[in-house]
């Protein structure tokens, strides 16, 4: 069973003259955890799994560093990174959004990973963990906590409503594969606000419908015993397997359809609010 304890990543960022650089963004990509350097150029990211780890180090006006290294708990050390300045060219700035990435094919995984929202692990990173259970694949990701279980441990979210929704290959299925060799990617969104637009329909739970008790007159106002509830926003875990389809435009959501979904959801929320307001008005003397 995979039972290694998390350890911190420590280090500092300097410029080519050896001076510390403040406010550099340091991201532990495999766990979706981000910090910034202090005035001395130092940073620390806690509770990262031993083994292969990937850091993305960025600051506007400096050349980014993307590095993978082996985190050894028996031989802790301070990492040292040197950044060099680059000429800023506003014409080359690109804003990346994951809402327009493919939703049900493997191409979307890499597209959303480039957007930088959520935590991601690809097939190489998963293989390096040598997982025995699905809980090993996501072990150490920010926003998830492993809990005991038989025969395998489970995991629960640590943010928001503490509810977790799981989809496989971009769609709702009965269960995730049992063979660890079938997993080729995983993405996790601890915060509902970072969930891609198309996936938000899956990242909620406990929604209900209003229950009608009677009508005052035929065709008149309906009196409700229980108002409808839109559900709770949850964390979302997306597994990708060898069975996921490759590029196929007919399986993916385009920008216009995504915006239409958002409009329908907003309209539904407004309708639900109107029902609740009507109930409150009925209760007033």
pLDDT at res. 2: 45
Same domain, 83 and 108: no
In the listed set 68, 92, 116, which residue is the last one of a domain according to the structure?
A: 92
Identity of the highest mean pLDDT range in 48-52, 233-237, 265-269: 233-237
Same domain, 151 and 229: yes
pLDDT at res. 20: 93
* Residue 116 structural domain: 98-283
Query: What are the strands, taking DSSP E only, across 16-50?
Result: 25-28, 33-36, 42-48
Whichever domain contains 75, its CATH number is: 2.60.40.1120
| Total domain count, the chain | 2
Report how far residue 189's alpha carbon sits from residue 32's, in angstroms, rounded to the nearest whole number: 9
Please indicate, yes or no, if residue 1 is contained in any of the structural domains: no
pLDDT digits (tens, 9 = 90+) for 47-65: 777 778 888 888 877 888 8
Same domain, 11 and 113: no
Indicate the pTM of the whole model: 0.60
**Residue (of 61, 56, 22) closest to 42 by Cα position:** 22
Preceding peptide of 223 cis, ω within 30°:
no
Same domain, 200 and 219: yes
């Amino acid at each position: 069973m995979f039972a290694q304890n998390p350890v911190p990543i420590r280090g500092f960022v300097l410029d080519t003259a050896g001076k510390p650089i403040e406010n550099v963004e340091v991201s532990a990509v495999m766990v979706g955890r981000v910090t910034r350097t202090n005035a001395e150029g130092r940073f620390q990211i806690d509770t990262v799994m031993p083994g292969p780890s990937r850091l993305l180090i960025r600051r506007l006006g400096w050349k980014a560093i993307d590095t993978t290294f082996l985190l050894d708990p028996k031989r802790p050390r301070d990492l040292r990174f040197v950044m060099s300045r680059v000429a800023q060219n506003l014409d080359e700035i690109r804003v990346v959004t994951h809402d327009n990435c493919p939703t049900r094919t493997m191409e979307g995984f890499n597209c959303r990973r480039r957007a930088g929202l959520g935590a991601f692990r690809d097939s190489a990173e998963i293989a390096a963990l040598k997982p025995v259970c699905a809980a090993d694949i996501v072990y150490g990701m920010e926003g998830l906590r492993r809990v005991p279980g038989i025969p395998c441990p489970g995991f629960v979210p640590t943010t928001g409503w503490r509810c977790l929704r799981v989809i496989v290959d971009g769609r709702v299925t009965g269960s995730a594969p049992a063979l660890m060799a079938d997993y080729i990617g995983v993405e996790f969104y601890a915060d509902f606000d970072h969930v891609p637009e198309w996936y938000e329909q899956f990242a909620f739970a406990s929604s209900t419908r209003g229950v009608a008790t009677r009508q005052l007159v035929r065709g008149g106002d309906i009196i409700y015993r229980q108002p409808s509830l839109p559900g709770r926003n949850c964390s979302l875990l997306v597994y990708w397997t060898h069975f996921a389809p490759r590029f196929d435009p007919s399986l993916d959501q385009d920008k216009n359809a995504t915006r239409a979904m958002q409009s329908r959801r907003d309209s539904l929320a407004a309708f639900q609010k109107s029902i609740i307001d009507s109930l409150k008005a009925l209760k007033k003397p």
